[in-house]
Structure 1
Amino acid sequence: MSYSPLRQILFCSLFILIANPVLSQTTHSVAKANETVWVIAYPVKATKRAQYERFIHEIFWPGAKNLSASEQKVFKQTRVLHPTKPEADGSYAYLFIMDPVVKGADYGIESLLTKMYGKQKAAEHFKLFKDAIIEKNYKDYRVTQSND
């Protein structure tokens, strides 16, 4: 059975439209059974959300390009989730999901900033982070991936 050139083009275009989102998405590794996953909830002051998001998306994540390949793996295996509504106290909980945890890796924000930007600039950036969060309400969970 022979298809007209127009029909072939339409078919290829449809395939590209369907496949393109799948092909362009970043793939995340996920923990296998019994591997550790670490979830951190940072409560952010309602008035500091823009500052916090700027820190994460314009300073911290882009700064990872200044790290070694093994240190960049920490960022590739970490997701950041934004809150959809405030907590009861009015703060907003942002989640970091390290899935899976890279054994022996440095996850310290201040330490990573220093490696990325040097001591002085790191201190300025870390102040933005510390100023935005409610440290006493910080929570973290180390869990193990189930077999299911």
Structure 2
Amino acid sequence: MFHAIRLPLLTSLLVLTSLLSQSQSLPLRAKLNETVWVIAYPVKATKRTQYEHFIHDIFWPGAKNLAAPEQKVFRQTRVMHPIKAEADGSYTYLFIMDPVIPGADYGIESLLKKMYGPQKGAKYFSLFKESVIERNYTAYRVTQSKD
């Protein structure tokens, strides 16, 4: 009889452990009325590789050099890649900050300098600036609805 009870109990514990570990790895998303930012950066067609290198090999990995509160900015931000070019030939990439952390630093240049120091940060920021069509980004500040 003890073995008959032990197997269902063990199975239940394994399922519960699995569910808890999955819930801890789920990203945080905005709750009702919390602020979300969506920033659309148009990237020059000839600079897509450079831009993606900057984002995925420099900027995101550099977050490990930041303090824990600033690392949270990266955990709550997603980057979306375009499927096709815009009519002008550029490619629009999105940053989705979901939810926005009030008072947090979201400045790319500022964060790079914190990650890599002033000189290297400035060098890396120039990679970003060379890639995007400057002053042509679009920012949306929205709040989470109930649905």
Give the TM-score category using the shorter length: 0.7 to 0.9
Distance (whole Å) between structure 2 residues aligned to residue 94 and residue 138 of structure 1? 10
Q: Which residue does 1:85 correspond to in 2? A: 84
Distance (whole Å) between structure 1 residues aligned to residue 130 and residue 106 of structure 2? 19
The amino acid across from 2:97 in the alignment is M
SS at match of 2:78: strand
Distance (whole Å) between structure 1 residues aligned to residue 27 and residue 100 of structure 2? 12
Q: Which residue does 2:106 correspond to in 1? A: 107
Q: Which residue does 1:138 correspond to in 2? A: 137
Count residues in correspondence. 132
Q: Which residue does 2:94 correspond to in 1? A: 95
1:38 aligns with 2:27: no
Distance (whole Å) between structure 1 residues aligned to residue 127 and residue 142 of structure 2? 29
Distance (whole Å) between structure 1 residues aligned to residue 118 and residue 41 of structure 2? 23
> Structure 2: which 5+ residue stretches go unaligned?
1-17
Distance (whole Å) between structure 1 residues aligned to residue 128 and residue 26 of structure 2? 27
User: Structure 1: which 4+ aligned runs deviate by more than 2 Å?
Assistant: none
Give the C-alpha shift of residue 136 in structure 1.
2.9
SS at match of 2:82: coil
**Identity of paired residues, percent?**
73
TM-score, normalised relative to structure 1? 0.83
Map 1:65-76 → 2, pairs under 5 A: 65-76=64-75
Distance (whole Å) between structure 2 residues aligned to residue 136 and residue 116 of structure 1? 24
> Structure 1: which 5+ residue stretches go unaligned?
1-18
Give the C-alpha shift of residue 137 in structure 1.
1.9
Aligned residues: CA RMSD: 2.3
